[in-house]
Amino acid sequence: MAGAYAHLNLRINPFGELPPHVRSRLAVANTAPLVEALRKPGTAVQLVGRCGRGKSSHLLALHRELPESHYARLWTDQPPPSALSGDILLIDEADAVWAGTRLRLLRRGRSVAVAVHRDQSWILRLAGFRVLTVEVGSVDRERLRAIVQRRIEFARLGPGPLPGLDDPVLDALLDTHGDDIRAMETPLYAAFQTLQAVEDLTPTHLYGAP
């Protein structure tokens, strides 16, 4: 039986919610220098940025490339801090817990990577780490193109053409949402829900007629 997106040559809507193991595969992130740094004891990598800028995707990509690491998102139903230990800790939403709890958790790792909304160098240094800070959030047209094309290709059903996003659509997304990639997923998801055939999207597909 053909799926709901078969007319687009897709298995799923490319911009729906994806499980963490898939997000780790699709992340567009330069993780090689971070992997190298985290394999050196005493290193803390902090990924700093506002919501929706790709911090979690970076951490999940690191988790995929560092199978010996332990990943936790602190404010969800992941294991509590007391249950975490290991050589490399990857802590999402690390600033969602009290500083004392955070400090005790950080000290469990030989090296750590944290996703935070504000600079946490002070507590990382207090925990005994040298700190490497990465500002997450800068996105231009070419990086956005890579992100959306990777999502669409992942959803491919079979050989043949797929819906595409040309420069005017990418520019409209950037003009409307800035660097908030998560916010871009909402109009993209809605557009693919209503798209009737394999074609290149236009700004009208996303935001209606001007």
* Strand 43-48 with 200-201, pairing: unpaired
Cβ neighbours of residue 176 closer than 8 Å, sequence gap 6 or more: 184, 187, 207
Cα–Cα distance measured from residue 183 to residue 179, given in angstroms and rounded to the nearest whole number: 9
Query: Are 94 and 74 within 8 A, CB to CB?
Result: yes
> Which one, of 182, 183, 187, lies nearest residue 165 by Cα?
187
The conformational region for residue 195 under phi > 0 = left, psi -120 to 50 = alpha, else beta, is beta
Model pTM? 0.80
Q: What is the pLDDT of residues 115-130, one digit of tens each?
A: 998 999 999 999 999 9
- Average pLDDT over the chain, rounded to an integer: 89
Share of the chain above pLDDT 90, in %: 61
31-135: which CATH topology? Rossmann fold (3.40.50)
Q: How far apart are the first and last CA of the chain?
A: 38
Give per-residue pLDDT as tens, 67-89: 889 888 876 545 555 556 678 99
What pLDDT score does 44 carry? 97
| Overall fold of domain 139-207 | Helicase, Ruva Protein; domain 3 (1.10.8)
In angstroms, the CA 124 to CA 190 distance is 41
Domain ranges of the chain: 31-135, 139-207
**Residue 127: how many CB atoms within 10 A of its CB?**
20
With beta carbons less than 8 A apart as the criterion, state whether 207 and 173 touch: no
For 42, other C-beta atoms within 10 Å of its C-beta total: 12
pLDDT band at 1 (very low <50, low <70, confident <90, very high): very low
149-164 pLDDT per residue, tens:
999 999 999 999 999 9
Q: What is the pLDDT of residues 15-38, one digit of tens each?
A: 999 888 888 888 888 899 999 999
